[in-house]
């Protein structure tokens, strides 16, 4: 008897019909002789609806109260799913994140899991139940409810799989695996049978929505057996593991893009030691992630530098920069929106020269300007204007030989968490 964690996103349980289909799939897994722990996201657009309601009453709601509000979405899902399984003649017990023993750091909105005490889950399993856990949430040691941020249900599932030493963690979504790019943009995207943790981590960080980066980090660190598959078909999914054999001739495995990008520029900065440490230290202290950083040459003792943050953090980042003006002298701070980051990823890039050059050439032939560039051993990212994004993705997909003759399967609206 194996122990399996199954995670279903919001689109998978977005309607009563889909909830029933998911319930039957979970029951089938149990009837095969497995012990099953399920992690569920909020149904459909529940979270967005809750956010909209909060904005009607307070456009700057306290972070603690937002966590109190948003965690209700997952609680609705787990209760309804448990009820559905009971209706179908099987035992199930639902748990909030804190009832499942998920302890987090004391940060609202983006908390990280610090510990899991799964005794109640094991008790439910020992009693013959299917254990259903609300994703995306936990509780601090002081008893404060927290959320894990976007993608938090993926993180919940993988962290639980590690804590209970599950044999496999299956992430069910609206596509039947990890593709070479978003199959909604490129209909003939290539489904990957196997991908390495490192490649998947880069794709996730760079905008591929099928898995959240923190979930991949947990999986890699704890060697969780991770599979991405569709909740709408029985097709074999994509296995994420430590190493994946590179397909002959395939240097680039995937193309990711991120629309949640803003560029901030700080102009006329004094060229003295400690400037970058002061700026990025202040941003880090406020929990703002910085991605690409570019500094220009120094003229007359002054320098300019730019960096990217998530679009949602743009206003907060500018506020931080304004607050440190007494420490860091600069002429002005500006921002630019309407940008995207497009990236190529592949373990084969490290041993194949000219991969990045091809990317630049493809983009230039579309008459698109590259505003910023970032590279590593297995990825190259370019920040460009948002408007030509889909044309750029399709052109790159073709240029790196990733097109296939088969149309990709997409079963429903994209999962948010």
- Global pTM reads 0.80
Among residues 348, 327, 343, the alpha carbon closest in space to that of 383 is found at 343
Please list the pLDDT of the chain residue by residue as tens digits (417 residues): 699 999 999 888 989 999 999 999 999 999 999 999 999 999 988 999 999 999 999 999 999 999 999 999 999 999 999 999 999 999 999 999 999 999 999 999 989 999 999 999 999 999 999 999 999 999 999 999 999 987 899 999 999 999 999 999 999 987 888 889 988 889 889 888 888 888 888 888 776 677 888 899 999 999 999 999 988 888 889 999 886 555 545 688 899 999 989 999 999 998 888 999 999 999 999 989 999 999 887 788 899 999 999 999 999 999 999 999 989 999 999 999 999 999 999 887 877 889 999 999 999 999 999 999 999 888 999 999 999 999 999 999 999 999 988 776 666 544 434
DSSP symbol at 347 = G
Binding-site annotation, residues for substrate:
47, 74
Q: What is the pLDDT of residue 122?
A: 97
- All residues at 6 or more sequence positions from 92 whose CB lies less than 8 Å from its CB, including other chains: 81, 82, 85, 86, 129, 130, 131, 132
Structural tokens at position 230: 């569709």
pLDDT at 102: 97
DSSP per-residue letters across 5-67: EEEE-GGGGSSHHHHHHHHHHHHHHHHTT-EEEEEEPPPTTHHHHHHHHHHHH-SS--HHHHH
| Contact assessment for residue 126 and residue 84, using Cβ atoms and an 8 Å cutoff | no
- Would you report the helix, strand and coil content of the chain in percent, each value rounded to 5? 35, 25, 40
Which is nearest to 256 in space by CA: 115, 96, 378?
A: 378
Q: Return the pLDDT at 416.
A: 39
**Do residues 338 and 386 make contact, with C-beta atoms less than 8 angstroms apart?**
yes
Helix, strand or coil, per DSSP, at residue 406: coil
At the top level of CATH, which class does the domain 3-173 belong to? alpha beta
Q: Which residues are annotated as a binding site for ATP?
A: 7-10, 173-174, 179, 184
pLDDT at 245: 55
Task: Let me know: does 398 contact 190? Beta carbons within 8 Å.
Answer: no
Domain map of the chain by residue range? 3-173
Give the pLDDT confidence score for residue 247 in this predicted structure.
Answer: 52
Residues tagged in the binding site annotation: 7-10, 47, 74, 173-174, 179, 184
């Amino acid at each position: 008897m194996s122990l399996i964690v199954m995670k279903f996103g919001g689109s998978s349980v977005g309607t009563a019909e889909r909830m029933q289909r998911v319930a039957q799939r979970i029951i089938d897994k149990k009837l095969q002789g497995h012990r099953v722990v399920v992690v569920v996201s909020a149904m459909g657009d529940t979270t967005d609806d809750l956010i909209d309601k909060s904005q009607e009453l307070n456009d700057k709601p306290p972070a603690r109260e937002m966590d109190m509000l948003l965690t209700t979405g997952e609680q609705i899902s787990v209760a309804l799913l448990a009820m559905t399984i009971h209706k179908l003649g099987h035992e199930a017990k639902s748990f909030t994140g804190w009832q499942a023993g998920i302890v987090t750091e004391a940060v609202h909105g983006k908390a990280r899991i610090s510990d899991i005490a799964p005794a109640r889950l094991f008790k439910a399993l020992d009693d013959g139940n299917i254990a259903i856990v609300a994703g995306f949430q936990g509780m601090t040691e002081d008893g404060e409810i927290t959320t894990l941020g976007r993608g938090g249900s993926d993180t919940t599932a993988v962290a639980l799989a590690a804590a209970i030493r599950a044999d496999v963690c299956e992430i069910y979504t609206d596509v039947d695996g990890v593709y070479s790019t978003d199959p909604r943009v490129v209909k003939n995207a290539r489904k990957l049978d196997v991908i390495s943790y490192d490649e998947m981590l880069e794709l996730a960080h760079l905008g591929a929505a099928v898995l959240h980066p923190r979930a991949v980090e947990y999986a890699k660190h704890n060697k969780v057996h991770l599979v991405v598959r569709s909740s709408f078909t029985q097709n074999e999914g994509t296995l994420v593991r430590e190493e994946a054999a590179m397909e002959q001739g395939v240097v680039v495995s995937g193309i990711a893009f991120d629309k949640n990008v803003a560029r901030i520029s700080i102009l006329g900065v004094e060229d003295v030691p400690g400037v970058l440490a002061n700026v990025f230290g202040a941003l880090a202290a406020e929990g703002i992630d910085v991605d690409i950083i570019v500094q220009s040459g120094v003229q007359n003792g002054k320098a300019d530098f730019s960096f990217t943050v998530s679009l949602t953090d743009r206003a907060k980042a500018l506020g931080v920069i304004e607050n440190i003006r007494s420490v860091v002298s600069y002429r002005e701070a500006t921002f630019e929106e309407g940008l995207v980051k497009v990236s190529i990823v592949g373990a084969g890039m490290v041993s194949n020269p000219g991969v990045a050059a091809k990317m630049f050439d493809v983009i230039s032939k579309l008459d698109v300007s590259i505003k910023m560039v970032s590279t590593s051993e297995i990825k190259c990212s370019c920040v460009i204007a948002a408007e030509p994004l889909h044309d750029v993705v399709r052109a790159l997909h073709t240029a790196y030989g990733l097109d296939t003759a088969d149309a990709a399967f997409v079963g429903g609206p994209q999962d948010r968490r």
